[in-house]
Amino acid sequence: QVQLQQPGAELVKPGASVKMSCKASGYTFTSYWMHWVKQRPGQGLEWIGVIDPSDSYTSYNQKFKGKATLTVDTSSSTAYMQLSSLTSEDSAVYYCTRGGRAMDYWGQGTSVTVSS
Amino acid sequence: DIVMSQSPSSLAVSVGEKVTMSCKSSQSLLYSSNQKNYLAWYQQKPGQSPKLLIYWASTRESGVPDRFTGSGSGTDFTLTISSVKAEDLAVYYCQQYYSYPWTFGGGTKLEIK
């Protein structure tokens, strides 16, 4: 069965960077694009960007250009998102989600807390 | 960017009632070459990740109960729950995948009386 495994939580200091992972299993990793979505506490969903694992083509929401960087490691079927220059506005849950039928499978999300 | 608007923002219903919620897009989501509407609905229960319910505006995802129905075309869409169950307590989001950046509506929070 399709699974997207994400670490549960990250605590990072303001101004630092964080790189979170999303390990895919149960399907051919390079056959489906991987999207990333942000959800601040008590708020709605915001699309960050997408990567094609077959060639690392990326497309970003303009709002997150310079903030998020998407990469993949096809040898381990893992997608990564790095967030830089973190502020309190970046404290949120970040989901990876497979781009099959719309966004058909979702990870459990990584909760990022930015605090000194 | 395509703006997605959902209404109402919240509603409270009794078990067994029929529920209808609306989603409107700032431009048409109907792709002329294949006559498909690039609109999806997701359900997010408290403390959980979103779950895909409906894609192509009206195609039910595998395993989704048939009390959930998506309809509409162009810029106006509806999600209907024919007979609400207590387990349907959740926030429902519509989302367009017609063009990047993909965008979500603000959500409709369904509460059970």
Query: What are the pLDDT digits (tens) for B56-96?
Result: 999 999 999 999 999 999 999 999 999 999 999 999 999 99
The whole-number average pLDDT for the span B17-25 is 98
pLDDT in tens, A24-44: 999 999 999 999 999 999 999
**A33: phi then psi, degrees, rounded to nearest 5:** -70, 155
Find chain A residues with C-beta within 8 A of B105's C-beta.
44
Which residues are registered as beta bridge partners of B42? B52, B93
Which chain A positions have a beta carbon within 8 Å of B61's beta carbon?
A: 101, 104
Query: What average pLDDT does range B12-19 have in this prediction?
Result: 97
Angle of CA points A18, A81, B53, to nearest 5°: 125
Average pLDDT over residues B40-62: 98
| Distance (Å) from the alpha carbon of B108 to chain A's nearest alpha carbon | 10
* Residue A72 C-beta-side C-alpha neighbours within 13 Å: 22
When pLDDT is averaged across residues B8-36 and rounded to a whole number, the result is 97
pLDDT value at residue A80: 98
Residue A100 has pLDDT above 90, yes or no: no
CB-CB contact of B52 with A103 (8 Å): yes
The β-bridge partners of B43 are B51, B92
Given pLDDT bands bounded at 50, 70 and 90, which one contains residue A101? confident
Residue (of A116, A115, A114, A112) closest to A39 by Cα position: A112
Mean pLDDT of A62-76: 97
Q: Is the CB of residue B92 less than 8 Å away from at least one CB of chain A?
A: no
Mean of pLDDT over chain A:
97
Q: Test A104 with B42 for CB contact under 8 angstroms.
A: no
**Touching check for B46 and chain A: CB below 8 Å?**
no
CA–CA dist A45, B103 (Å, integer): 8
Residue labelled with tokens 């497309």: A59
* Contact A29/B at CB under 8 A: no
Chain A environment of B52 (Cβ under 8 Å):
101-105
Is residue A59 within 8 Å of A50, Cβ to Cβ? yes
At A73, the pLDDT band (50, 70, 90 cuts) reads very high
